[in-house]
Amino acid sequence: MDVRLRDDVLDWDRAEGQLERSGMGLTPPLLSPDECADLISGYDRDELFRSTVVMARHAFGEGEYRYFRDPLIPVVQDLRTHLYPPLARLANRWAERLGERGALGAPPGPGTAFPERLDELLAVCAGAGQHRPTPLLLRYGPGGYNCLHQDVYGDITFPLQVAIMLSSPDVDFTGGESVFVEQRPRAQSRPVVARPRLGQGVIFPVRDRPAPGARGYKRVAMKHGVSTVLSGRRFVLGVIFHNAR
């Protein structure tokens, strides 16, 4: 395993604290500048991808993204495989707090909602008809943006995902902040903005998270998007752990 993906380097307790406070957590750089450049250079290699989405055609925003095909390229497979186990431990704590059965369908309890390894989660996805890989590369040019949304691709949804910045903010592009909106019950929505550095990851909920309240934990819905890119090009690697139908 790459040293940058070790638990002691990533400091999962700190990331969990950030998620609980603001609904998203920043990691140290997960990819080197060369790895980021390699991923960007592969964007036009059609053989790496199973599909391309032009956002404007679907009123998703301005820009486009491409889903990787199986087998995933090694760097994406490594990230997906090694980031999953600590996130699964966190996802199981979230499910217990919210009283959810999760992907495994067992009654709520410690470690009962999501399996420990990625291959086990993908087997559950396959059993639900979700076979298509979901990691993707996103590209935005000037004027590009992404509307607020949630990445749900079927009945099986792993509650956390990671977006890794492949471009240098204020060097390769300006604008284009990562935006997260927390839709709180009986209250106005709360926005949070992040500006990850080159190679840095943002961990955030796919659709909701537990938030501490006066009477224990409550469910808070989350959406994410990207503000308008003012200049340059912005590339991001999205690492989603459940597969799609």
pLDDT digits (tens, 9 = 90+) for 201-216: 999 999 999 988 888 8
Examine residue 37 and state whether it is found in any structural domain, yes or no. Answer: yes
What order do you get walking across the sheet with 200-205 strand by strand? 25-29, 200-205, 160-165, 234-239, 136-140, 64-68, 49-54
Examine residue 134 and state whether it is found in any structural domain, yes or no. Answer: yes
Nearest to 63 by CA among 173, 200, 193, 182: 173
Structure tokens at 187: 């209250």
Please give the sequence-ordered ranges of beta strands (E in DSSP) within 31-128, or none if there are none. Answer: 49-54, 61-62, 64-68
Predicted confidence band of residue 44 (pLDDT cuts 50, 70, 90): very high
91: containing domain: 3-239
Strand 229-232 and strand 173-175: pairing?
Answer: antiparallel
Give 203's DSSP letter.
E
Examine residue 110 and state whether it is found in any structural domain, yes or no. Answer: yes
Residue 173, strand partner residues: 169, 232
Domain count, the chain: 1
Examine residue 245 and state whether it is found in any structural domain, yes or no. Answer: no
**Least confident window among 5-14, 83-92, 161-170, 211-220:** 5-14
Secondary structure (3-state) at 183: strand
Q: What are phi and psi of 136, to 5 degrees?
A: -150, 160
Judged against a pLDDT cut of 80, whether residue 80 lies above it is answered with yes
CB 189 within 8 A of CB 225: no
CA distance 158 to 35: 26
CA distance 135 to 4: 19
* Residue the block writes with tokens 């935006």: 179
Nearest to 237 by CA among 132, 167, 141: 167
**Least confident window among 9-13, 161-165, 188-192:** 9-13
Q: Specify the pTM.
A: 0.94
Examine residue 60 and state whether it is found in any structural domain, yes or no. Answer: yes
Structure tokens at 181: 């909106």
Please give the sequence-ordered ranges of beta strands (E in DSSP) within 63-215, or none if there are none. Answer: 64-68, 136-140, 145-149, 160-165, 173-175, 178-183, 190-194, 200-205, 208-213
Examine residue 158 and state whether it is found in any structural domain, yes or no. Answer: yes
pLDDT at 8: 62
For residue 145, what is the domain's CATH number?
Answer: 2.60.120.620
Examine residue 244 and state whether it is found in any structural domain, yes or no. Answer: no
Examine residue 138 and state whether it is found in any structural domain, yes or no. Answer: yes
CB 65 within 8 A of CB 144: no
Q: What would the pLDDT profile of 92-130 be if each residue is shown by its tens digit?
A: 999 999 998 888 876 666 767 999 999 999 999 999 999
